[in-house]
Amino acid sequence: MSTEITSSNPIVRAIIGGTAPQPARLAAASGLLPLPQSDLLEVLVALRQSDDSKIAAAAEETLGAQGVDDFLEAAKASETPAPVLDYLAVFPGANRQIHEAVVLNNKTPDRAVATIAALTSESSVLELIAINQQRLVRFPEIIDAILANAARSAEAERRAQETRREFFEKERGAQQIAQELRARGKTAAAEFFESAESRGLSADDAWLIAEHIEVSDAELDNSWLPAERYEELADETAEEYAANFKKVIECERIEMGEVPAERVSLIRRIMFMNARDRMKLAMKGDREARSILIRDSNKVVATAVINNPRVTDQEVENIAAMRTVADEVLRLIALNRAWARSYTIIHNLVRNPRTPVPTVVSTLPRIRSRDLQHLSQNRNVSENVRRQALRLVQTREGH
């Protein structure tokens, strides 16, 4: 089962991930395990799609026995997983209060809101959906669903029609959105959105990524990238895109633990952009985008992050300690005079087994004796580094 798992409960993760034994999964589907309500719903929604028909049927039955109040509480909770919110959008017993709570929940996927817009018979729910213009622009299928629903009120129809005319008719969509972004002072995001269609991005993807761009074209300095290195931004295969996405997810899990489903979605959209666009996003993106692209398999993309004019010393400190970044990135950090003046940064570099040995050796003379002593005993770094650190300690002590 490939369902993204939100819960940190190891039992829940084993059940949804398919590593728990069949009897345990059947017991969970039957509601026989003592799980918190939020975990129970995540398990049941996942197991209703199980390949084991007995487990799937049990999960459906247990879900059907849940109380409306439990579903309403889940619809309101900010930590409710997206798959559960998806389920609540189509749950036959969902009432107006549940649908309103789902619509208002920031974690609700746009596709779930579109489903509610298509299925609800409550005009007030349609009005609530139509009020959120940003969501309508990001996912225009919601507009279509509102206008196709016979239960729509005049107010819901007016808002949906106005959004359609303003953003999508007369081929003014991207330009109009860009103008709105500029009016809010988001010049960098506007520049990105204007070129989104030529990049082959959907409006949904373009909107999401534009929200993570903070550097305008006027702030960029491309002098760090010689023309010959553009060859490294060649087209990639579908397999390479998938492998790059998987690598970034695994790196994040190693360094930070479980990756939230919302971040997985953002990573997927970014990592399936072509290499040239990922490089541009690395140079123009905000801290969240930079934290993703620093782990890119393409070294040009990864090094573009440290050439982003908004990258901070704190970020560089963290990058210098990462064991999942390209050695080229670490070498370039060491060559930067401003960063090399930070003791924390150079100390992180010499302790990082990914830092090229020549870079470490040239940096060691600036490391304090006590830290050199610790480094000489650090089995995570190469023997050459340990030996050189010990030699420096002995020299300083007069041996």
Contact 280, 219 (CB under 8 A): no
Measured in whole angstroms, the distance separating CA 229 from the mean position of its chain's CA atoms is 28
Return mean pLDDT, the chain: 89
- pLDDT level of residue 300 (50, 70, 90 thresholds): very high
Contact 321, 348 (CB under 8 A): yes
Per-residue pLDDT at 170 exceeds 70: no
Q: What pTM, to 2 d.p., does this model score?
A: 0.57
By CB neighbour count within 10 A (0-12 exposed, 13-18 middle, 19+ buried), where does 337 fall?
Answer: exposed
Backbone angles phi, psi at 285, to 5 degrees: -80, 165
- H helical segments located in 261-367: 261-271, 275-284, 287-293, 299-305, 313-321, 327-335, 337-340, 343-351, 357-363
- pLDDT level of residue 196 (50, 70, 90 thresholds): low
Q: How far apart are alpha carbons 88 and 113 in whole angstroms? A: 10
H or E element, residue 175: helix 173-183
Using alpha carbons, select from 346, 307, 108, 343 the residue that is nearest to residue 219.
307
pLDDT at 229 (0 to 100): 80
- pLDDT level of residue 374 (50, 70, 90 thresholds): very high
- pLDDT level of residue 207 (50, 70, 90 thresholds): confident
Strand partners, 285: 213
What's the whole-number mean pLDDT along residues 222-248?
Answer: 86
- Give pLDDT tens digits for 1-57: 445 687 788 898 999 988 999 999 999 999 999 998 889 999 999 999 999 999 999
Q: How far apart are alpha carbons 297 and 232 in whole angstroms? A: 11
